[in-house]
Amino acid sequence: MTARPTAHELIAKHRPTLDQALEAIRTRAYWSPHPEHPKAYGEHGSLDAGAGKAAFDALLGTRLDLDQPGTDDWVGDEVSPYGIELGVSYPHADLDVLLPAMRAGQAAWRDAGPETRAAVCLEILKRISDRTHEFAHAVMHTSGQAFMMAFQAGGPHAQDRGLEAVAYAYAEQTRTPETAEWSKPQGKRNPLTLTKSFTPVPRGIALMIGCNTFPTWNGYPGLFASLATGNAVLVKPHPRAVLPLALTVQVAREVLAEAGFDPNLVALAAERAGEGIAKTLATRPEIRIIDYTGSTAFGDWLEANARQAQVYTEKAGVNTVIVQSTDDYQGMLANLAFSLSLYSGQMCTTPQNLLIPREGISTNEGHKSFDEVTGDLARAVDGLLGDDARANALLGAIVNPDVKARLEAAADLGEVALASREIPNPDFPDAVVRTPVIVKLDAAKPDDEAAYLGECFGPVSFAVAVDSVTDAVDLLRRTIREQGAMTVGAHTIDPEVARAVEEVCLEEPAQLSLNLTGGVYVNQTAAFSDFHGSGGNPAANAALTDGAYVANRFRVVEVRKEA
Amino acid sequence: MTARPTAHELIAKHRPTLDQALEAIRTRAYWSPHPEHPKAYGEHGSLDAGAGKAAFDALLGTRLDLDQPGTDDWVGDEVSPYGIELGVSYPHADLDVLLPAMRAGQAAWRDAGPETRAAVCLEILKRISDRTHEFAHAVMHTSGQAFMMAFQAGGPHAQDRGLEAVAYAYAEQTRTPETAEWSKPQGKRNPLTLTKSFTPVPRGIALMIGCNTFPTWNGYPGLFASLATGNAVLVKPHPRAVLPLALTVQVAREVLAEAGFDPNLVALAAERAGEGIAKTLATRPEIRIIDYTGSTAFGDWLEANARQAQVYTEKAGVNTVIVQSTDDYQGMLANLAFSLSLYSGQMCTTPQNLLIPREGISTNEGHKSFDEVTGDLARAVDGLLGDDARANALLGAIVNPDVKARLEAAADLGEVALASREIPNPDFPDAVVRTPVIVKLDAAKPDDEAAYLGECFGPVSFAVAVDSVTDAVDLLRRTIREQGAMTVGAHTIDPEVARAVEEVCLEEPAQLSLNLTGGVYVNQTAAFSDFHGSGGNPAANAALTDGAYVANRFRVVEVRKEA
């Protein structure tokens, strides 16, 4: 058993990590305290592969009792994209009991101050990190990610993003000192003197609405940013991806209680099938902050209707890669093939539209026509996914029937450059595993516009022929402005083209990766260094993580009196 | 003539001031580079009293040509609350010409970077500071403030708030480095390496909607926060208070042009009488940031309708002072009397509701009944304003007929503890100068609630009898939560009462001044140290100035490529 840690002990334990995180967000050099390799776990209290798998298996078919006030029912019907029924049930909340209970502990959490809150958050993340193998299975069997991706993106990378949010929250709250002595000269008279105190105070209860595909990675920034700034946090998971966030809530409640705080500062709001609890929650007056990842329609609804709250949304977008020229044709093809294949394109950062001049591109292997480029890319994807084991490890499973339906419909949108095919999964015969489809479209054909100027979430890419690179840049601008984009890529050895693409990304604003041909992909970002989204185009109104993401989750109250 | 300064020269000139401002917002100790005393001006290129007055006089009856594109008319019909017709006309804009022109220079302004932008903003503030005497008359004859207040609040204090915003903007933009080298170890393989650049980019054109009472003080934070973060700024002054902001725009355009930037980065949008241009402007797609000070109705309209923009509003509120006990009864009375009288109570920070236990309060002069406290406060106000010259210097003029009508109606709301009286102004016979009215109300009478639970902007205060200090604290909480508050005051020597009031202010959130009996008043805040508003209650959704006020006025665009 862990002895109950005092705030002082938690600060002593975690302050070095916090300081490293603060330095990393300042330099934006590479840093992570969370190992990516599965074999790095198993010592110092962390679960190794076998123990993590056993812990996950032990959860199946159980009731996850979080000991929450106002639990009026037990709900949950998750079915893994790999075919397993999880059979885990979760507390369903009577909001009129749960929400007041969540507020009860806020004054003590506020009074604890930014450093103690950060230390408690880091202890939560440490305990989650120790259970990374267990979480990996939970993420895999809710998102459909392949195991290694679920392990890395759902484990250390998500924990990194959570820690990054804690670091920003701590930095932001400590920009103003706790106290100040103010003395204003008055010529020959005595100065005016005041003693002032400054206290960061929470806005209220924060609501974090989780998504299906990246429950922890997309959920942790908002959860930890709100908690670290003194707010209670209600976690509303996607009904298909409850387990990873329910475990997160469990750990948070355990750590809060051990540290002497009210565990109800973090709670779960699971829902019955079809209940649609998010709208009810989002407009409750107690909810003052909302973090949401999901559809544009509901994100827009939140922004318009949850007017009592600060609303941070990540919505749909259309990601573009302009392909104009390269001095590493094979590297470019391999890099793009990987980007299109990873997690079956079910990332908000996966490229969708590849804009390629119809007269072709210049490469280190000579001129390549539009058809050669698309054919070579199709072969690169085929080569990457030729081995079924490797294909399964890269693709994961299709997360839900909507994605499968979109994939199947995509082949009718234009000439198919690469057909999608089924990959059998020997371990999970019910898993729906599909390779990406690449469809040729033409920017000169008005009928094609509806396809490439809308998000087609899933393993669907469009190779769009454009008349010129100028047209490509114009289409990029229009796409970002109208549809939003989480990522932009470009392959060009022409500095003027690079400059034109960069200018669009600066003006619209969007995050740009140029000429990636190695082991970094446009759809991946690293916490502490890369921003996820710009917060300046329709795909997301916030970036992970910057000052703006944390600064308005709390307010500073000043009390002044004569010295 | 000023030689055209290079960016480098401006940085060299202003970097020490910027560094001092950055240090001040970190320590929140007293600091200001802008002298408060009128006699401090007249050397080093600044206008002295006579030259400032002459410059103002020379403006009267003229056309203030700002050389703006798209000027299709000349408008302006300002009449001073002191009775003078200003007769100044201003450019009226064809928005379809002006707004595109304002965007033309944004890329160069963005590329100049945060330090150059800060230096240019500081040069603008320096030139405004040099003309403080001229601005003082412009503020006086639009707001109705007495000269000394117009000089100080409209001059150095406003300039301080502008500089504070520049410092926050600079700090926020430079939290992320311009470039980073990222190298991720890959075990025995070569590390993954990327070169990254990070560029703060503007959101677009910012709209600053000025107010009647503090055109510069309330206008400069938003104007300079937006400009320093790379946005163009369109200034829409209140039709009764155009001149101070038109002069500000004039100076900004002059400095921008001299420094090699497009002067159209700052422009004026004056309007015809009754034109109501603010709604049109606020919903233009080019407008991406709005700062507004004024009525709750229009502030709420902006928040609901200007969905394409970040909206920062300061609206109506009801400021409370709880009077429970004091060890300096005379000091308390004098301090409150001054707070109620300054600028005829026409400050968003002036106390409105004085909550006093009906059984009275304990003081260093013994127990004082409710009626004794209100009677003594009335006498303190009378004493303060007994001399007409002093009264004129404190009260200024009633800014507009609405305030006068509210003042006249207030006497019918309850028993009058202090009647308002007219003060003649020998210099300006047409000025409407009035002393404050204090009306007794009773929290136990439901009919009184409508009066004290709504903002009665102007020289009107309510002495509200409450059953107990607990009731006072409860009413304070309700008032802040429902009506908002820019300031809260309390007089108590009981630590438990102080703690209860503080807890309400932490929870609701509001800024609290405790036991002020000397030369600092609840309605005054000092830039670099005090926050103006909390941004956490209905009176304002932002505080002047904190990280949240600047962090979302720009976005950071990352461009990454393989190293």
**Alpha-helix runs per DSSP H in B145-284:** 147-152, 158-173, 220-228, 243-258, 277-282
Residue of A30, A36, A525 to mutate when probing chain B, most B C-beta within 10 A: A30
Nearest CA in chain B to A185: B30
Tens digit of pLDDT for each residue in A191-220? 999 999 999 999 999 999 999 999 999 999
Residue B328 and residue B269 share a domain: no
Alpha carbon B270 to its chain's center: 20
Asked if B561 is an interface residue toward chain A (Cβ–Cβ < 8 A), one would say yes
The span from the CA of B53 to the CA of B47, in Å, is 9
Kindly report, residue by residue over A287-337, the tens digit of the pLDDT: 999 999 999 999 999 999 999 999 999 998 999 999 999 999 999 999 999
pLDDT tens for each residue of B176-201: 999 999 999 999 999 999 999 999 99
* For range B488-515, the mean pLDDT: 98
Q: Give contacts of A534 with chain B, Cβ < 8 Å.
A: 555-557
What CATH number should be reported for the domain holding residue A172?
3.40.605.10
CA-nearest residue to B174 within chain A is A26
H or E stretch at A467: none
Query: In angstroms, rounded to a whole number, what is the distance separating the alpha carbons of residues B368 and B358?
Result: 10
Which among A522, A525, A520, A516 is positioned nearest to A543, based on CA atoms? Answer: A525
* Minimum Cα–Cα distance from A310: chain B residue: B541
**Averaged pLDDT for residues A28-35:** 97
Q: Is residue A524 part of a domain?
A: no
Q: What is the DSSP string of B521-549?
A: -TT---TTTS-BS-SSBTTBSS-BTSHHH
Strand ranges in B335-442 using DSSP code E only, listed in sequence order: 353-357, 361-363, 366-368, 415-418, 437-442
- Give B256-285 pLDDT, tens digit per residue: 999 999 999 999 999 998 899 999 999 999
**CB < 8 Å to A113, chain B:** none
Query: Is the CB of A558 less than 8 angstroms away from the CB of B512?
Result: yes
What average pLDDT does range B320-343 have in this prediction? 98
B213 φ, ψ (degrees, to nearest 5):
-90, -35
Range B321-337 average pLDDT: 98
Same-domain pairing of A204 and A239: yes
Please tell me the predicted confidence (pLDDT) of residue A4. Answer: 66
> A202 forms bridges with which residues in the sheet?
A554
Alpha helix ranges (H) inside A1-75: 7-27, 49-59
Residue A3 lies in a domain: no
pLDDT confidence of A1, banded at 50, 70, 90? very low
Q: Which of B25, B28, B196 should be substituted to probe chain A, the one whose Cβ sees the most A Cβ atoms within 10 Å?
A: B28
Residues of chain A in contact with residue B557, where contact means CB-CB under 8 angstroms, are 505-506, 509-512, 534, 536
Average pLDDT, chain A: 97
Q: Three-state DSSP class for A557? A: strand
B287-293 and A266-268 beta bridge pairing: unpaired
A159 within some domain: yes
A276 and A306 inside one domain = yes
Reported as a single tens digit per residue, the pLDDT across A460-481 is: 999 999 999 999 999 999 999 9
Residues A83 and A142 in one domain: yes
A171 and A275 housed in the same domain: yes
A482 Cβ under 8 Å from any chain B Cβ = no
A522 found inside a domain: no
Kindly state the percentage of chain A with pLDDT values over 90.
Answer: 98
B92 in a structural domain: yes
Indicate whether B246 and B345 sit together in one domain: no
Q: Provide the CATH number for the domain around residue B502.
A: 3.40.309.10
**Is residue A525 situated within a structural domain?**
no
Question: Considering only alpha carbons, which residue of chain A is nearest residue B28?
Answer: A180
Least CB-CB distance to A558: which of B185, B517, B531? B531
- B163-179 pLDDT, tens per residue? 999 999 999 999 999 99
| Nearest CB neighbour to B557, from listed A506, A517, A519 | A506
Task: ipTM value, please give it.
Answer: 0.97
What are the tens digits of pLDDT across the range B397-443? 999 999 999 999 999 999 999 999 999 999 999 999 999 999 999 99
Closest A-chain CA to B181: A29
- pLDDT tens sequence across B119-141: 999 999 999 999 999 999 999 99
Q: How does pLDDT run across A489-503, given as a tens digit for each residue?
A: 999 999 999 999 999
Confirm whether B539 is domain-assigned. no
Same domain, A185 and A232: yes
Identify the domain containing residue A140 by its residue range. 8-316+544-562
Interchain proximity A530–B558, CB inside 8 Å:
yes
For residues B10-39, average pLDDT: 97
Which pLDDT band holds residue B1 (cuts at 50, 70, 90)? very low
Q: How many domains is chain B partitioned into structurally?
A: 2
Name which of B423, B421, B420, B336 is nearest B387 in CA terms.
B423
User: Which of A480, A555, A561 should we substitute to test contact with B (largest number of B Cβ atoms within 10 Å)?
Assistant: A555
User: B381 and B508 in one domain?
Assistant: yes
Q: Is residue A301 located within the same domain as residue A360?
A: no
> What ranges in A370-448 are assigned the alpha helix state H?
370-384, 388-395, 401-410
Residues A462 and A549 in one domain: no
Measured between CA atoms, how close is B432 to chain A, in angstroms?
32
Q: Do A536 and B201 touch (CB under 8 A)?
A: yes
The answer to whether residue A333 is domain-embedded is yes
* B198 close contact with A: CB closer than 8 A: yes
pLDDT in the model for residue B387: 96
Give the closest of A203, A517, A560 to B562, CB-based: A517
Mutation target vs B (from A326, A493, A557, A561; most B CBs, 10 A cutoff): A557
Whether residue B205 is found in the same domain as residue B352: no
Judged by a CB distance cut-off of 8 A, whether residue A5 touches chain B is no
The encoded tokens of residue A231 equal 């707010």
Q: With an 8 Å Cβ cutoff, is B310 touching chain A? A: no
Q: What confidence tier does B7 reach under pLDDT thresholds 50, 70, 90?
A: confident
CA A5 vs. chain centroid, Å, equals 30
Q: Is A70 helix (H, G, I), strand (E, B) or coil?
A: coil
The pLDDT of residue A5 = 73
Q: List pLDDT tens digits, range B79-111.
A: 999 999 999 999 999 999 999 999 999 999 999
* Residue B74: its H or E element: strand B71-75
Read off the tokens for B113.
Answer: 């970077």
CB within 8 Å: A27 and B177: yes
User: Which among B515, B536, B555 has CB closest to A543?
Assistant: B555
pLDDT at A2 exceeding the cut of 90: no
Is the pLDDT confidence value at B4 over 80? no
**Does A562 contact B175 at a Cβ distance shorter than 8 Å?**
no
Nearest residue of chain A to residue B559 (CA atoms): A512
Residue B103's pLDDT is: 97
Residues B408 and B498 both lie in one domain: yes
